[in-house]
Amino acid sequence: MREIFAGMPWWVKWVAVPVIALVVFGGLIASVVGFVVWLLFKVLVFAALVGGLIYLVRRFMAGSSSSRGSDW
């Protein structure tokens, strides 16, 4: 690989090749990044909903057990 770029100017290796890669694979990269962001959002929503459910159940159980005077 080094032999290919040996006679080329620096800007070919560090500017032109990455720009060409972004043009060719840009849609794929955007799709992968979008999917990862979507997945992280769904994981955060799931964690928030489960956390809220646990909070509500504990609050309900604490209130009902103190009024009844019995534990499970």
What is the per-residue burial (b if ≥16 Cβ within 10 Å, else e) of 25-56? eeeeeeeeeeeeeeeeeeeeeeeeeeeeeeee
**CA–CA separation, 16 and 24 (whole Å):** 12
Q: Show pLDDT as tens, one digit a residue, over the chain (72 residues).
A: 788 888 899 999 899 999 999 999 999 999 999 999 999 999 999 999 999 999 999 999 988 765 555 555
Neighbours of 19 (CB within 10 A): 11
The answer to whether 22 and 14 are in contact (CB under 8 A) is no
Element (H, E) at 42: helix 17-68
Rounded to two decimals, what is the model's pTM?
A: 0.60
